[in-house]
């Protein structure tokens, strides 16, 4: 592991897989963050050792991932160690699954990180499929995401997805500290956050697709601020 004076951010995902349109957008923004940001392929994550020393974790779009178990390890590491976490598109689903599996211990989530076939009963085509279009959101008042939007309870965001998890599973998985904080106009969950955590946010929409290096989405700005704060706190403690 190289030593860096800059805050360190892990981008967990399989770079370029599925021709993900978000990956080039992230690549273009990275030089403007003032961070030591690195892509970590999911296939390289076998335990949490590779994640040690990072100040934040972003599980980027790209599901199905090559190694879902590595993704789940990353989410769990961020959750348990209070590292700033952002999960977009597939990262949103991964955060739900990790919580259902390791915190709530839901039977339907058992083993889905190791056997993709066990995940299939939880997957459903989205009622409204979006391929880069904007769609409206309803945001829970006084939530973290509402504060990021300046107190707004409505927004429009860019989606690029065809599939989701069943409403029943998402309802069962969003208990305790993890809760749904934004929905589409039909009431389907589209964002989650975690209480008692410095920054833990997942969104089915992709704020990176609405960003440029010069004008980044407020969710990304807030996440990067949390990463910098974590790094500063760790440096002070050391």
The DSSP string of 147-216 is HHTTT-SEEEEEEEEEEEE-HHHHHHHS-TTEEEEEE-TTS-EEEEEETTSSSEEEESS-GGGG--SSS-
* pTM (2 d.p.): 0.93
Residues 19-33 pLDDT 10s: 899 999 999 999 999
- Residue of 231, 185, 27, 21 lying closest to 11 (CA atoms): 27
3-state secondary structure of 56: strand
Q: What confidence score (pLDDT) does residue 4 get?
A: 57
Lowest mean pLDDT among 39-43, 124-128, 144-148, 171-175: 124-128
User: What pLDDT, in 10s, does the model give residues 56-111?
Assistant: 999 999 988 999 999 999 999 999 999 999 999 999 999 999 999 999 999 988 88
Element (H, E) at 40: strand 36-40
What integer best gives the mean pLDDT of the chain? 90
pLDDT at 177 over 70: yes
Location of structure tokens 């305790």? 176
Question: Would the pLDDT of 118 be above 90?
Answer: no
Digit-coded pLDDT (tens) for 125-169 = 554 445 557 889 999 999 999 999 999 999 999 887 666 678 888
The mean-pLDDT minimum among 12-16, 51-55, 71-75, 124-128 falls in 124-128
**And the tokens for 36?**
């030591």
Is residue 13's pLDDT more than 90? yes
Instruction: Check residues 35 and 109 and name the one with the higher pLDDT.
Output: 35
- Position 71 scores a pLDDT of 96
Domains defined along the chain, listed by start: 8-237 (3.40.50.880)
């Amino acid at each position: 592991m190289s030593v860096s004076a800059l805050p360190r951010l892990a981008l967990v995902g399989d770079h370029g897989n599925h021709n993900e349109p978000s990956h080039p957008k992230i690549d273009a923004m990275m030089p403007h963050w003032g961070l030591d940001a690195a892509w970590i392929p999911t296939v390289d994550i076998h335990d949490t050792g590779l994640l040690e020393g990072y100040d934040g974790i972003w599980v980027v779009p790209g599901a199905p991932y090559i190694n879902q178990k590595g993704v789940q390890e990353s989410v769990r590491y961020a959750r348990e160690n209070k590292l700033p976490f952002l999960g977009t598109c597939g990262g949103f689903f991964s955060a739900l699954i990790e919580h259902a599996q390791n915190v709530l211990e839901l039977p339907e989530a058992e083993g889905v990180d190791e056997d993709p076939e066990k995940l299939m009963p939880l997957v459903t085509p989205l009622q409204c499929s979006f391929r880069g279009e904007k769609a409206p959101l309803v945001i829970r008042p006084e939530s973290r995401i509402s504060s990021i939007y300046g107190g707004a309870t409505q927004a429009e965001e860019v989606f690029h997805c065809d599939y989701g998890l069943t409403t029943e599973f998402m309802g069962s998985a969003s208990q305790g500290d993890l809760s749904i904080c934004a929905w589409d106009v039909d009431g389907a969950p589209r964002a989650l956050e975690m209480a008692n955590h410095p920054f833990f946010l997942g969104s089915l929409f992709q704020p990176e697709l609405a960003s440029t290096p010069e004008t980044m989405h407020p969710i990304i700005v807030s996440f990067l601020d949390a990463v910098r704060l974590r790094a500063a706190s760790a440096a002070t403690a050391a």
